């Protein structure tokens, strides 16, 4: 499949769609069912990120972001810890921590439980990391995507165009970010 060996295909599937853990030993992982079903129905499309379109923007997260700010992206890139009781506690938006909400929404998952009640969290897989980046981009661009602010296909420009083209497209993107003064 996709010209990959069985071992390489399994490795790529794990990297893109596996890693969700919902139990306190952090030993049992599951794949994202919707992503796996989509991949298996059209493997010729490759490892597409289905997460954001299939529920990566739950209404509870959208409501939370109206009154709360997310941490800086680099903070989510580091190991995060929270108590198990806090993680499984309140679902009231006003009292729920960002880590609790992101875990309940599937953006973060249990990677380890140590010291009895300390849960270590991280992104489950590459697909969810990309969804988090997209969520941040939408927040920075006030709900718009790069093409709507004139930044167009950034990846294509980075791969094919000159340094000047990259400068112009990134400049348009940065100009669209609404920064409080």
Q: What is the pLDDT of residue 23?
A: 83
Contacts for 173-179: CB closer than 8 Å, 24+ residues apart: 173/141, 173/146, 173/149, 175/149, 176/141, 176/144, 176/149, 176/150, 176/151, 177/140, 177/141, 178/140, 178/141, 178/142
Q: How many CB atoms lie within 10 A of CB 39?
A: 22
Give 40's contacts (C-beta < 8 A, 6+ positions apart).
none
Q: Which of 125, 123, 98 is nearest to 108 (CA)?
A: 123
Across 30-56, average pLDDT: 86
Using the structure block, give the residue that is written with the tokens 């990120």.
49
Banded pLDDT at 181 (limits 50, 70, 90):
very low
Q: Is the pLDDT of residue 8 over 90?
A: yes
Q: Taking CA 74 as the corner, what is the angle to CA 70 and CA 77, rounded to the nearest 5 degrees?
A: 100
Chain mean pLDDT for the chain: 77
Output 74 or 149, whichever has higher pLDDT. 74
Q: Is the pLDDT of residue 2 over 80?
A: yes
How many whole angstroms separate alpha carbon 173 and alpha carbon 177? 7
**Which backbone phi and psi does 58 adopt, to 5 degrees?**
-65, 150
Banded pLDDT at 18 (limits 50, 70, 90):
very high
């Amino acid at each position: 499949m996709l010209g990959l060996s069985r071992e390489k295909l399994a490795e790529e599937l794990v990297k893109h769609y596996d890693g969700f853990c919902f139990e306190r030993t952090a030993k049992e992982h599951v794949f994202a069912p919707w992503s796996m079903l989509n991949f298996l129905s059209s493997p010729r499309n490759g490892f597409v990120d289905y997460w954001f379109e299939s529920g990566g923007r739950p209404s509870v997260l959208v409501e939370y972001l109206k009154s709360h700010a997310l941490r800086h992206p680099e903070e989510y890139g580091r190991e995060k810890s929270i108590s198990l009781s806090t993680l499984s506690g309140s679902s009231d938006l006003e009292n729920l921590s960002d880590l609790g909400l992101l875990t309940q929404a599937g953006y973060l998952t249990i990677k380890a439980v140590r010291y009895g009640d300390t849960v270590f969290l991280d992104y489950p897989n590459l697909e969810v990391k990309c969804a988090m980046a997209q969520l941040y981009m939408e927040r920075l661009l006030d709900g718009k995507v790069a093409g709507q602010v004139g930044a167009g296909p950034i990846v294509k420009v980075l791969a094919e165009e000159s340094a000047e083209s990259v400068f112009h497209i990134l400049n348009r993107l940065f100009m669209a970010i609404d920064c409080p003064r």
